[in-house]
Amino acid sequence: MFDIPHGRTNAILMPHVIRYNGRNPQKHAMFPKDDYFRADKDYADIARFMGWDTDKQSDAELVEVLAQKVYKLGVAVGINMNWKGQGVTKKLLQDTVYTLAEHAYEDQGTTC
């Protein structure tokens, strides 16, 4: 929609997705393959596997560490990690936000 390469879009969104999905939601909308909320533990495990943990960090802290590391990686490879840096204006975003929401809603089956 904004003519931004798919991988670059993923890089920009990923830190936000990690933070959002890494918080236990108020209202659970589990998918059939999920028995319980576990994204925070999974993200924390990734950070631990990468060696970014200390003995005293909570899972929530490790979620933030992972999000920050992903952001820094994007910057390190030369990605301007925001929409404005990709040429997306506030007006363009406002003009397309409903279409974006519809596309996201229609794409719920990708977790199956």
Q: Which two tokens stand for residue 46?
A: 């990734």
Query: Does 97 reside within a domain?
Result: no
Give the whole-number percent of the chain exceeding pLDDT 70.
Answer: 88
Contact assessment for residue 80 and residue 86, using Cβ atoms and an 8 Å cutoff: yes
pLDDT reading at 62 higher than 90: yes
pLDDT (tens digit per residue) in 19-52: 998 998 776 665 656 677 888 999 999 999 999 9
Domain ranges, residue 42: 6-27+35-81
Compute the Cα dihedral for 74, 75, 78, 82 and give only its sign: positive
Query: Does 99 reside within a domain?
Result: no
Q: Which two tokens stand for residue 13?
A: 């969104």
Domain count, the chain: 1
H-helix segments, 1-112: 6-21, 39-49, 59-76, 90-106
pTM: 0.82
